[in-house]
Amino acid sequence: MVKEKIKQQSISPLTGKEYVIPDAVDDKEGIDSFVAQHPEKKVVVVQGLGFVGSVMALVVANALTEEYAVIGIDLPTPFSYWKIQSINEGVFPVIADDPKIELFYKEARRKNNLYATCDPYAYSKADIIIVDINLDVKKQSNDDGHLEDYSVDLAPFKKAITSIGTYCKPDVLVLVETTVPPGTSQKIVRPILEECLQKRGLSADQLKTGHSYERVMPGPKYIDSIQNFYRVFSGTDEASADATEKFLRTVISTNEYPLTKLGNTQATEMAKVLENSYRAMNIAFMVEWSRFAEEAGVNIYEVVNAIRMRPTHKNLMLPGLGVGGYCLTKDPLLASWAKMNLFGSEEPLTQSEKGVHINDQMPLFAFQYLQSQYEGSLKDKKVLLLGVSYLNDVGDTRFTPVQGLFERLVEAGSEVTLHDPHIAYWEEKELRVNNNLTELLQQPYDIVIISTGHKEYRNSPALIKTLLGHPASFVYDTIGVLTNEEIKELKTKHIVKVIGRGDL
């Protein structure tokens, strides 16, 4: 594999197209011209064009009861500059199995009411600003993936809010949708904005600051998970809560999915991190049980599905390679950090922190099992990794558990080939990824690992047939996509192992 280090360029992980990042950002003309074309419309600026912000911008551009002129803003960095260019060039920066994304994007382009920029001058035009940026947790882990310490890096978030305060109108509604430590809107966002306005000689009396978290689910119902789903909201005061509610009613189907108002922004911020901590802990809980199932010769999938017949136990999770993505890997830590740092507690949220720790170690367990099958040595083994993304049918590599497995395989001297139908360039590893499965399967491998549940690997007779044509190898399903029938067929030629299936 050829490693490609690119500095002053931003490469689209979707198309592989390279963009040169300009030295200075001045898009005043472009922004003024866009706004001038929509004199009757309110301007909504979405800060952050990532997996949430870009799709939220699409939803606002296709609002239900009011027409907005929408400007998406992001940073001119190698990770993000391509998203801005891509939106303006006609390629939406998120690929998912939801046909509504393409439809909404086409409609926004037809109406010409979506524009992207990296110039913060855009904030000066906004009636509403939606904050959809990242707020990262920095983890320090040892070689075993054991979480030793972590910190919440608030500096970039504060900088982003400051850039809004430097330009915004004094009566703007700033709606925070970023997942934040409870206490952030009241103790950090509001004071920064007030201070910025004060420095500009402006009153903050009309300023409105709301919080309403995203429950967006990348995948086949991406748009609906924003537009046709329940939302929780609050404001730092009554006027802010009212303005937030009024805006949400124009973009979300609130007749079918009524809004839930909570008493203050601390409550909505806590609701978000509690929701995600619950899910992360549910998975961590299953890690232990799936290992027990392997030791006891039990099929954990069968067991979980039997238990799920009880309505109260329907959301019991299944085992897998690990927990990935941006949210579940950090949100329990954001909550624990807030408890100690924003509310002065000396006790962390012990169980939530431990859940993250267990989940982070899952790729190590998966690797160790594989290693045990080869008497400790995976050197020179030809390995095909099917799936780089952390989630099925989506191109998102952030904190993918595949990374932990991949790095350990490379370290062990294996020759790893990557496939993912949705990823052309793996940003975090600076590696190109082959999208052509047919081409890759022309050669045999010692080990084939199914590491993501993309539909290309699920119920795929073609894949099974091709693998059956290969010399004997080790087929390792780390997420339970293979059916009993497929396992039976594959076992006529190969060794097959599925995580959590002690019955094989």
Q: Which of 377, 356, 378, 177 minimizes the C-alpha distance to 272? A: 177
Q: Does 428 bind ligand NAD (CB under 6 A)?
A: no
Q: Does 48 bind ligand NAD (CB under 6 A)?
A: yes
Q: Which of 240, 254, 225, 251 minimizes the C-alpha distance to 67? A: 251
Distance of closest approach, residue 323 Cβ to ligand NAD, in angstroms: 13
SS3 150: strand
Residue closer to ligand NAD by CB (options 247, 365) is: 247
Q: Are 378 and 409 in contact (CB under 8 A)?
A: yes
Q: Does 447 bind ligand NAD (CB under 6 A)?
A: no
Which single residue brings its beta carbon nearest to ligand NAD?
Answer: 50
Q: Does 456 bind ligand NAD (CB under 6 A)?
A: no
Phi-psi category of residue 485: left, alpha or beta, with phi > 0 → left and psi -120 to 50 → alpha: alpha
Distance of closest approach, residue 342 Cβ to ligand NAD, in angstroms: 16
Q: Does 475 bind ligand NAD (CB under 6 A)?
A: no
- Window contacting ligand NAD (CB under 6 A); options: 133-141, 168-176, 304-312, 347-355: 133-141
Tell which one of 73, 281, 487, 490 touches ligand NAD (CB under 6 A): 73
- Tell how strand 382-386 and strand 415-419 pair up: parallel
Angstrom distance (rounded) from CA 88 to CA 72: 10
Find the binding residues for ligand NAD in span 204-233 (CB under 6 A): 214, 216, 218
- Window contacting ligand NAD (CB under 6 A); options: 79-87, 233-241, 251-259, 449-457: 79-87
Q: Does 133 bind ligand NAD (CB under 6 A)?
A: yes
Angstrom distance (rounded) from CA 73 to CA 50: 10
Angstrom distance (rounded) from CA 322 to CA 70: 37
Q: Does 119 bind ligand NAD (CB under 6 A)?
A: no
Tell which one of 62, 86, 117, 179 touches ligand NAD (CB under 6 A): 179
Tell which one of 12, 47, 117, 244 touches ligand NAD (CB under 6 A): 47
Q: Does 326 bind ligand NAD (CB under 6 A)?
A: yes
Q: Does 74 bind ligand NAD (CB under 6 A)?
A: yes
Distance of closest approach, residue 184 Cβ to ligand NAD, in angstroms: 11
Residue closer to ligand NAD by CB (options 179, 236) is: 179
Q: Could you tell me how many residues of this chain bind ligand NAD (CB under 6 A)?
A: 28
Q: Which of 348, 337, 212, 326 minimizes the C-alpha distance to 276? A: 326
- Window contacting ligand NAD (CB under 6 A); options: 27-35, 58-66, 129-137, 456-464: 129-137
Q: Are 356 and 332 in contact (CB under 8 A)?
A: yes
Residue closer to ligand NAD by CB (options 216, 370) is: 216
Tell which one of 52, 128, 423, 449 touches ligand NAD (CB under 6 A): 52
Q: Does 392 bind ligand NAD (CB under 6 A)?
A: no
Angstrom distance (rounded) from CA 152 to CA 141: 15
Question: What are the residues whose beta carbons fall under 8 Å from the beta carbon of 129, sequence distance 6 or more?
Answer: 44, 45, 46, 47, 123, 164, 168, 172, 173, 174, 175
| Contact track, ligand NAD, 135-154, x by CB under 6 A | x-------------------
At 83, phi and psi to the nearest 5? -65, -40
Residue closer to ligand NAD by CB (options 259, 410) is: 259
Return the half-sphere exposure (C-beta side, CA atoms, 13 A cut-off) of residue 189. 30
Got the DSSP string for 273-307? Answer: HHHHHHHHHHHHHHHHHHHHHHHHT-BHHHHHHHH
Number of other CB atoms surrounding residue 42 within 10 Å: 17
Q: Which residues lie near ligand NAD (CB under 6 A)?
A: 47-53, 73-75, 79-80, 83, 132-135, 156, 159-160, 163, 178-179, 214, 216, 218, 326-327
